[in-house]
Structure 1
Amino acid sequence: MVNEWLTRWREGRIGFHRAAPHPVLCHHWPLLGVSPGVKVLVPLCGKSHDMRWLGHRDHPVLGIELAPQAVEQFLAEGSEPVSRYHQVGFEISRQANVELWCGDFFHFHIEQAAEVGAFYDRAALIALPPATRQRYAFHLAQLIPPGASGLLIGLERAAGEERYGPPFHVPEEEVRELFEPNFRITLLERGTPEPGSGFREHVWAMVRRGPVE
């Protein structure tokens, strides 16, 4: 799966990339009540314009991405100076208030996420095969402090195409099964099937549960 993801970026097969911030983010994020200044974790971030949208609303952004091509393309599309540094397992680039960690999300640990207070997942869960999604949900929960909010966008595919991906078919019931042990989750929106692909998004607000919940 890792090699396939890197190959997609090398070959430019990134049909999942949107040319503008996601309308779902623009509509629902303000309703979460995440205060300006709160750092937002964006796993498997690609070169998403959503990060700049969050940054322009006074959120420091910490994106984690495996493909160096995605990181470099994001930086090239910006106009601000870039600073670079290194931590074990990650090459880190900062442009304005967006910080990109190039490396394996599963090697990103709670000590490195100490300032994270919110998260946004538009393309992480649906990029992972079934065997990895439970690991992802658990790892995300370890990085997010109790009471912190997030927005997650899932994706269902047309009947008969569920096994193909990425992006993968992740039905609503699987989102509940994966995240309800550690998050209070609320279904905000069900999209309509996209013409030609049959993809349908479902949008969730999440709040990390505390130790006594």
Structure 2
Amino acid sequence: MANEWLERWREGRIGFHRDRPHPLLVTHWPGLQVRPGAKVLVPLCGKSLDMRWLASGDHPVLGIELAPEAIEQFVAEGQGVVTRYHQAGFQICRQGNVELWQGDFFHFHIQQAAEIGAFYDRASLIALPPATRQRYAFHLAQLVPPGSRGLLISLERGTGDAGGPPYSVSNEEVHGLFDSNFRVTLLAQGEPEAGSGFRESAWALLRRGPLE
């Protein structure tokens, strides 16, 4: 899986990248009522412009990305001084209010996540094969403190085709993955896209406390 992802970036096969912020993010993020100034975790972030949109709303952003090409393209296409340093096995690159950690998301631990107060997943869950999704959901829950709010965008293909990435993740699977640690609310569900057959869903996730 990791090798395939790195190869996609090396070869420029990044059709999943959008040239503008995702409309579901723009529409639904304000309704989450994330506290002002909360740092937003963006796993498997690529070079998503969603990070710049979040940062423009006074949210520091911490993106985690395996492919160094994605990070280099993100800062090259942005503006501002770039600072670089190394910490806990990650190469870190900062530009403005966006901090990018180059490495494996599953090697990112709570010690580095102390300031995180929210999260956004547009292309993480759907990039992972079924066998890895439970591990992802559990790891995400360990990184964000109780009360943290997040926005998840999933894709589901009506034919049930399991090919990917992106992978089809049903509404039932979203609940199965996250209900044990989050309050999960379906915010919106679109119509199937022509050609791909995928339809997008937007979810609000609220990290439960230990007594819930």
Q: What interval of TM-score do these two structures reach, taking the shorter chain for normalisation?
A: over 0.9
Q: 2: CA distance between counterparts of 1:197 and 1:147?
A: 36
Shift of residue 88, structure 1, vs aligned partner: 2.4
Q: How many pairs align?
A: 212
Shift of residue 196, structure 1, vs aligned partner: 1.0
Q: Superposed, which structure 2 residues align to 1:22-171 within 5 Å?
A: 22-160=22-160, 162-171=161-170
Shift of residue 157, structure 1, vs aligned partner: 1.5
Indicate the residue corresponding to 1:189 in structure 2. Answer: 188
DSSP-derived class of the 2:20 partner: coil
Give every structure 1 segment of 4 or more consecutive aligned residues whose post-TM-superposition deviation is greater than 6 Å: none
Q: Does 1:3 align with 2:3?
A: yes
Shift of residue 173, structure 1, vs aligned partner: 0.2
Q: 2: CA distance between counterparts of 1:195 and 1:173?
A: 23
DSSP-derived class of the 1:114 partner: coil
Counterpart residue identity of residue 145, structure 2: P
Name structure 1 gaps, 5 residues minimum: none
Q: 2: CA distance between counterparts of 1:157 and 1:85?
A: 41
- Whether the aligned pair in 2 keeps the contact of 1:32 and 1:149 (CA below 8 Å) is yes
Q: 2: CA distance between counterparts of 1:120 and 1:206?
A: 10
Q: Deviations over 1:35-87 (max 9, x none)?
A: 22100000000000000000000000000000000000000011111000001
Shift of residue 158, structure 1, vs aligned partner: 3.6
Q: 2: CA distance between counterparts of 1:159 and 1:193?
A: 11
DSSP-derived class of the 1:36 partner: coil
- Whether the aligned pair in 2 keeps the contact of 1:6 and 1:66 (CA below 8 Å) is yes
Name structure 2 gaps, 5 residues minimum: none
Shift of residue 17, structure 1, vs aligned partner: 0.6
- Whether the aligned pair in 2 keeps the contact of 1:188 and 1:205 (CA below 8 Å) is yes
Counterpart residue identity of residue 18, structure 1: R
Aligned residues: CA RMSD: 0.7
DSSP-derived class of the 1:111 partner: helix
What is the TM-score normalised by the length of structure 2? 0.99
Q: Deviations over 1:137-163 (max 9, x none)?
A: 000000010011000001012405x21
Indicate the residue corresponding to 2:204 in structure 1. Answer: 205
What is the TM-score normalised by the length of structure 1? 0.98
Q: 2: CA distance between counterparts of 1:35 and 1:77?
A: 29
- Whether the aligned pair in 2 keeps the contact of 1:158 and 1:197 (CA below 8 Å) is no
Could you tell me the percent identity over the aligned residues? 73
Q: 2: CA distance between counterparts of 1:176 and 1:22?
A: 23
